[in-house]
Amino acid sequence: METETIPTKRLYQEVADRISADIAKGTYPEGSRLPAERKLAQSMSVSRATIREAMIALEISGLVEIKTGSGVFVISDKVQSDGASLYDIGPGPFELIEARTLFESEAAFVAATRISEAEIQELDRACKEMTALIEDGNTAEEADHRFHSLIAAATRNSAISSTIEQMWAFRTRMPMWRKLHALISKLEGEPGWTHDKHTIVDHRRILNAMRARDPGAARDAMRLHLEHVKEALLKASELDTIDFTNAQTFVESGEAT
């Protein structure tokens, strides 16, 4: 007898649905500002990262507008016709970066023991291309993807490689990720924004660990890189007037995971 699989809502979706219901019944009328991020997180017993994912989902759904540094404001009490499907197609950005940190850090450890000289040369080319693009003020998404895919392939484990590729595929089709990517792009060049510098330094550190065939260093370098990515996501998704120092403290506290 076949059993029916019951879909499980992601945590950020449950939070978005609760706030959406409150908006619909008038608890938060059109034009009003939603409670501060920290207050919402405490009242719903979730992390602030989950609140940020929920707010991005609600903005995509047409219910709220995020005004960085000012807060989140209700602009409608009705979800757009395609809104529900927009935030129900994959894991949230912070959920995804947590999974990438687990999988890609360990993949780097394994790859460092198996990678060929030819693959190291390919990594070097991808790293140089990424550096040149970033230093010229361009996006390096394709080179970045190629760099990480090369490491996944170097594990010589198809299950590891396909899992990591699936996580990268989520990024491509997730409206929430595209929203965050657009916000990150706006921050480039602003005072205190260090993500571009981290991206270059981090990938060189990973490359050097691979070249040295040092699995421990490779794992640590990959984990540090993805922590820096998480910091960038946190900075780009700030809902209230939180400065970058506080955002870094928030990451270090582990509250974002």
C-alpha 23/C-alpha 36 separation (Å) is 15
What CATH number does domain 11-86 carry, 3.40.50.720, 1.10.3720.10, 3.40.47.10, 1.10.10.10?
Answer: 1.10.10.10
Q: Are 207 and 144 in contact (CB under 8 A)?
A: no
Predicted model pTM: 0.75
Residues 6+ apart with CB under 8 A from 136: none
Question: What is the CATH T-level fold of the domain 93-237, as seen in this structure?
Answer: Four Helix Bundle (Hemerythrin (Met), subunit A) (1.20.120)
Residue 233 — φ and ψ, nearest 5°? -65, -40
Q: Average pLDDT, stretch 50-76?
A: 86
Looking at per-residue pLDDT, the higher value among 250 and 146 belongs to 146
pLDDT at 171: 79
Looking at per-residue pLDDT, the higher value among 13 and 206 belongs to 206
Segments making up each domain of the chain, as ranges: 11-86, 93-237
Most confident of 2-6, 166-170, 199-203, 244-248: 199-203
Q: Average pLDDT, stretch 159-168?
A: 94
Instruction: Please list the residues that pair with 65 across neighbouring strands.
Output: 73
pLDDT at 113: 97
E-assigned strand segments in 2-139: 64-67, 71-74
